Structure 1
């Protein structure tokens, strides 16, 4: 008997069953917990991907133009198709809506959103009710749409029913909870194939006023009567402050040399390589001498000093009419060469380039009133040839007249003094793939930048761009090689108020930030 008891005591057969029976609740619990963790992770991924997609679709429309909020809502409602799984409600779509685009914060369908002018510098700082005023765009659409750069999209929390019985472990604990997602996306804008030039905003507002008649840059771009105001751009002397109407140079691509000649060639070429971001550009100073004048004037069929620009990419515009004569063949040259600036006679009898404005009441005498002598210009260069009758009641911009001459085969028509708009035969062949009389550049609010401590006379970096713009060169640049005044008309800008003619330069990209 004792032997039997002792054998039973040492017999280990079947012990696994006992251990499994003891551990079975824990095994089942951990299995259910792993399944729940996988399910909730998949649910959160579905919601987060949906939030990301909504935010990116909306951010692509935040270009600062009128209607940006409504277009962002439409993009979320029509361009995004997502669904979530594993919620208490089961499989279901994530939807948005179009409540009208008039509110900076709104909701529709499965999401809510707010349009933001800024985001916290630290990813760990959440945008909450307490700090919304710092980051939300203005509630008035006409103001808020222009300053909106980001959108925050929040997916409405959805219920999740866990399989793991939390109430079994802790009395009263819930076996379910809500899962949500938040995404912040923004709109980054830049340009490529752009010349390395910046202009100080002629319409920069300081304390609500400016010297351009309190007209904003957007208003100027949208109104032909303001765009035809002639603007005199000037370089800044050493250590002088930058103000409205001054211009300077951006850092050229790395492939360009540091010398003045390399910078000038980058400005003069018809195929620039530079790309610049609206979020920040870098200036290039110390290069305001040398062949910069040539970089502008090659566009008018004027020979560069020293023949520095002697390849096809530096060819002149198709229309170089400038009111110049050498007393020779009427095309600005003497028949066997492309003339240098000092060989030309301007405003000779019977030759007339695009004239200045009658008065210059704005920007300290460097911005005209837009009232230029179109009738004399036309009669001098084209006699009785007709032009659009609307120009008799609404004066055209100089750029409109210039384009009309090209479109209607008037470039070869001789003025009463014999000048034609075609470049001299000995010059490089005209560049027709791009408009060589357009100058492209970044618009900077120079006064605000300098007030913030930026030294525009130094090589400053990360300067925000108000807009990228195109200007029409109305006449060659006079003066010595260190540059004279550059007379231009504003043609177009990127963003709000723009007409879209710069879209082929734009590289607009929505980007996720949070």
Structure 2
């Protein structure tokens, strides 16, 4: 009986120990599981992606939107650039420049753009832009364009337009990224535009520093462009007088531009820049500076050296001051030795049997200083070339003197003696003739002097003067007098721009460029 309770007590203790051990094992197992789970990194990328997925999608949408809006802006900016350059190319300072610039906007440019709210690729045409013409730009690009820069009277001041600002009317853009996610009520849509400013610079290089007051500035019947385009008007002989003591700066007079840097300021230096066959001056149509008032004596020599007169004196004794290939002028040497290059006081222009290019029969225009174009071609030809043939068209339409002069060279008639013995070949004692350029042509900037006189002194030093056109003139005879009002007799040959024949294209430096 006593053993039985003992046995029972032992069994009870053993069971209790077993229960405690089982619980401890389970706790350790659970702890191991928790620790294992805690340190297990398998599948964490999925969790992180799940957490970051909205941000990833958002940044992707922003990148797509930025690319789309950038492409849209680039398309619009390219359109604005193209419109402004097309319009600026017409701003040549003429009275119809704005009219032509607007026509260029309407007809020359058509750009396509994408990604706007308008749907498929759209066409940017003139209706989608606005423009305003400017006389100037602020000193730096960070300054805004103000009223003082803008042409306010386009009808009366088109010649002052030097720049054009083109603004693209803003177009709609809808972003994919939900803006309301960042701020309640924010819109996904906004507009995109573009602005461009272009200007036109026109000028000439290798030009003589001379300005000529527009002979047609006040003409009620013809403009300079019409005169340049018509043979009948080009053959009108024009008497140019030097601006200074003898003549005011009015139609038909001439003066001098600021010589190129390094040439010098004296009258002799100026004369050399006129006399040379290799001028180095460059001049901008938007702005030239005058420098008149120089002594007339060297200037007379500068013109006459082209005729083989005085070529060995007055510092004109090097090859670039050589005479023209054809110096026929109706003159014979009356004194001095045969081996001298003739000087002006050794020439006679009235000897029988010699005839230079005659003047017009009448001078009804420009106060008696512009002829009617009716010059005695038949007498000139018979005196100098007898029965030599000439283009039959000249029997119907009288040629210009310059056409005859050029024909003499091309037909080999320069050495033909007149009935009085004159030939067009320069004397052997002179510098060799210059054949690389036409020495009987002079070049100059045409200014509307009457209009400019209101605010400028063209008889002295004036700056920033606009040029109507650059032109070439044919010297028909030597300058006879060294006085201030010595006349220079010329025919208009060609001009730059409208009405021009293209003979001055090699001198031109035209460029339309973006400024903003």
Name the TM-score, length of structure 1 as normaliser.
Answer: 0.79
Residues 245, 485 of structure 2: 8 Å contact kept: no
* Structure 2 CA distance for partners of 1:120 and 1:352, relative to 1, 3 Å: closer
**After the TM superposition, which of the residue ranges 155-164 and 494-503 deviates more from structure 2?**
155-164
1:498-513 equivalences under 5 Å are 498-513=500-515
**Cα distance in 2 between the residues matched to 1:473 and 1:32:** 74
**Cα distance in 2 between the residues matched to 1:370 and 1:240:** 24
* Structure 2 CA distance for partners of 1:34 and 1:133, relative to 1, 3 Å: same
Matching residue within 352, 355, 360 for 1:349: 352
**DSSP 3-state at the match of 2:453:** helix
**DSSP 3-state at the match of 1:368:** coil
- Deviation at residue 38 of structure 1 after TM alignment: 6.4
Residues 291, 460 of structure 2: 8 Å contact kept: yes
- Deviation at residue 350 of structure 1 after TM alignment: 0.2
1:151-166 equivalences under 5 Å are 152-155=165-168, 157-166=170-179
- Deviation at residue 26 of structure 1 after TM alignment: 9.1
Cα deviations by residue, 1:186-234 (Å, 9 ceiling, x for unpaired): 3221000000000111111xxxxx2x45321111111111111111111
Residues 198, 249 of structure 1: 8 Å contact kept: yes
- Structure 1: gaps (5+ residues): 1-19, 97-105, 205-209
In structure 2, the residue matched to 1:492 is 494
- Deviation at residue 166 of structure 1 after TM alignment: 2.6
Please tell me whether residue 48 in structure 1 is matched to residue 77 in structure 2: yes
Please tell me whether residue 193 in structure 1 is matched to residue 209 in structure 2: no
Please tell me whether residue 76 in structure 1 is matched to residue 109 in structure 2: yes
Cα deviations by residue, 1:161-207 (Å, 9 ceiling, x for unpaired): 22442334555442012212232323221000000000111111xxx
Larger helix proportion of the pair: 2
- Deviation at residue 44 of structure 1 after TM alignment: 2.0
Residues 60, 72 of structure 1: 8 Å contact kept: no
- Deviation at residue 371 of structure 1 after TM alignment: 1.0
Please tell me whether residue 291 in structure 1 is matched to residue 298 in structure 2: yes
Larger radius of gyration: 2
1:144-183 equivalences under 5 Å are 152-155=165-168, 157-169=170-182, 171-183=184-196
Please tell me whether residue 310 in structure 1 is matched to residue 323 in structure 2: no
Name the TM-score, length of structure 2 as normaliser.
Answer: 0.79
In structure 1, the residue matched to 2:288 is 281
In structure 2, the residue matched to 1:11 is none
**After the TM superposition, which of the residue ranges 239-248 and 377-386 deviates more from structure 2?**
239-248
Matching residue within 421, 440, 444 for 2:447: 444
In structure 2, the residue matched to 1:9 is none
In structure 2, the residue matched to 1:184 is 197
Cα deviations by residue, 1:235-268 (Å, 9 ceiling, x for unpaired): 1234963111111100111110111111111011
**Cα distance in 2 between the residues matched to 1:39 and 1:327:** 86
**After the TM superposition, which of the residue ranges 383-392 and 63-72 deviates more from structure 2?**
63-72
Cα deviations by residue, 1:98-153 (Å, 9 ceiling, x for unpaired): xxxxxxxx44xxx5465x664575573489xxx99936569xxxx98x88765554
* Structure 2 CA distance for partners of 1:326 and 1:238, relative to 1, 3 Å: closer
Residues 307, 323 of structure 2: 8 Å contact kept: yes
Cα deviations by residue, 1:445-484 (Å, 9 ceiling, x for unpaired): 1111111x11112211110001100000000001126561
Task: Give the superposed CA RMSD.
Answer: 3.6
**Cα distance in 1 between the residues matched to 2:492 and 2:134:** 29
Residues 117, 137 of structure 1: 8 Å contact kept: no
